[in-house]
Amino acid sequence: MAHTLNPTATPSPSPAALAPWLVLLAGLAALYVPTLIDLFHGPWSSDRNAHGPIVMTVAFGFLYFRTRQLISQKMFERNPKPALGYPVVALGLLCYVLGRSQQVHVLEVGSLILVLAGLMIALFGVRTWSRMWFAFFFMMFMIPLPASIVDVVTLPMKIAVSAATEHLLYWMNYPIARSGVILTIGHYQLLVADACAGLNSLFTLEALGLLYMNLVRHPSLVRNVLLAMLIIPISFAANTIRIIFLSLITYHFGDAAGQGFLHGFSGLVLFLSALLLIIGVDSALSWMVRRGGASDEGAGLQLPSLAPGAWAQLGQIATRPAVLLLAGMLLAVGGAWALTPKFTPNPQTIDLAASVPTRFGDWRELQGVVTQAELSTAEDGGRSLEQPYDDVLMRTYVNSQGQQVMLALAYAKEQRQDVKLHLPEICYPAQGYKVMSLSPAPLTMSAGAPALPGKHMLATGQGRLEAVTYWTRISDAYPQGGFAMRMQIFRDGLRGKVADGILVRASMLVRDDTEAPAAYVVQQEFLRQLVAASDARGHALVVR
């Protein structure tokens, strides 16, 4: 039998009654305070995921508001379902152990949602949890997205926003041109990054729209569905407004103004534009619903008042389950610590410039002839999601027949979920190229050795056509995509190992796509001779 709480008839709880709740809070703090600290110093400190703290604050604020509302309406029931709730808590703790130890934010941060939902079901029942479902759903937007997913999904939106900005500013008679996601306005170039026009901003604006809908609580289902669907084009429009704003600031006031305070201020422009568009579209939908004769008055946002002692109606929990839950949480913390892989520095110093010869076989280095697609390292020697390498080598070689091959090597001594190798099919489009073809390519580097899994890519942009052969190595494996790379890092991590990784890329300029097959043959022979000629350190980096 479900019991409905009476918010006016219960005295204040005694300290003994509060003790089990404090035990649960201690367990949750042990789990997630270190996680939050890492998030604030890591993903949440970047433009990509700066919305995370806002979403978390709003989600917990909504949870408080909804709990208060249900208590005042005598709808906060207590019908515990431990048989359903505790397995959800256990699943959440397992996700926490794997996510915390292997730095998989989707699992680590997502486990908070599972643990809280499981506790609510176990202590109060499914019906009470279902009446608060939106708070748990909203928390999903605070989870940092895997970069491999963001890179793949965000590119079409970045290109579309860049194209829209180009056309609008050209229509306004500004001197602007575009190459992929690189805008040139006047004497300045702007790279449309993920944070400016990507999946992250789309998720943030979708969260903003859903929160607006839930707070306004329109009774019209058609209106709610239409508004939710229109948030995607609203996000596109808001992102375009932001890029136009930054382009005009840069054009009129210089690059320093565009990249300084006003760049951060443009984020506020993004959300103000989105909010105004959402309200405007909602008003138009409201007018259409009223014109159709349907009721359109929502519940609105009202914070109900509670009688003294009403919060005591949340009830008490037994000390034994609280202690067992605390023990499980502390065990999860210990398990995550035990499974965390340990990095063992390579005693042999890696120096690509010294390991890779400037002359080998029929090839010799050609100084400063062709500009390559960039592989950069951080100026301060640090590493980040955008600059994940410890050592980079970029050279151009020529043979006796005059054929030129551009070589790019990018080495990282630590491959982790949040900092790993970048794939050319992602980096090239970010620099204004279009990938015309991408296919697997077994590459034989030495006689009798198994073929090494690489890829052939044909890309066009910046007035040239480039044939590319490349492979990526992580530990002793050659993953063929972003997800495969993450899984290899995950497997290495479960074995207690932090692996190194390298990207090996050879490319040639071709006149048309019919010359690409011959270029791939030249590149494979070039790489085979390179591996044979490199010293022990370079050979170990390139192939194992």
Q: Residues near 8 by Cβ (< 8 Å), separated by ≥ 6?
A: 307, 309, 310
C-alpha distances in Å from residue 175, one per residue of 184, 463, 467: 8, 19, 32
Categorise residue 39: left if φ over 0, alpha if ψ from -120 to 50, beta otherwise: alpha
Largest CA-CA distance found in the chain, in angstroms, rounded: 94
Q: Residues near 145 by Cβ (< 8 Å), separated by ≥ 6?
A: 49, 106, 199, 200, 203
Closest CA to 484 of 453, 509, 507: 453
Q: What is the rounded radius of gyration, in angstroms, for the C-alpha atoms of the chain? A: 28
H or E segment to which residue 208 belongs: helix 199-216
Helix (H, G, I), strand (E, B) or coil at 12: coil
Which of the residues are catalytic? 196, 242
- The answer to whether the CB of 90 falls within 8 A of the CB of 60 is no
Closest CA to 386 of 353, 410, 351: 410
In whole angstroms, give the CA distance from residue 279 to residue 265.
21
Closest CA to 430 of 397, 385, 492, 480: 385
Tokens 């090839």 belong to 363
Distance of CA 95 to the CA centre of its chain: 18
Q: How many CB atoms lie within 10 A of CB 285?
A: 19
Q: In what order do the strands lie in the sheet with 182-185?
A: 176-179, 182-185, 188-191
Looking only at the bridges linking them, the beta strands covering 359-360 and 188-191 are unpaired
Closest CA to 363 of 538, 507, 535, 533: 533
Tokens 């309406």 belong to 73
Q: Residues near 365 by Cβ (< 8 Å), separated by ≥ 6?
A: 358, 359, 395, 396, 397
HEC string of 89-156?
A: HHHHHHHHHHHHHHCCHHHHHHHHHHHHHHHHHHHHCHHHHHCCHHHHHHHHHHCCCCHHHHHHHHHH
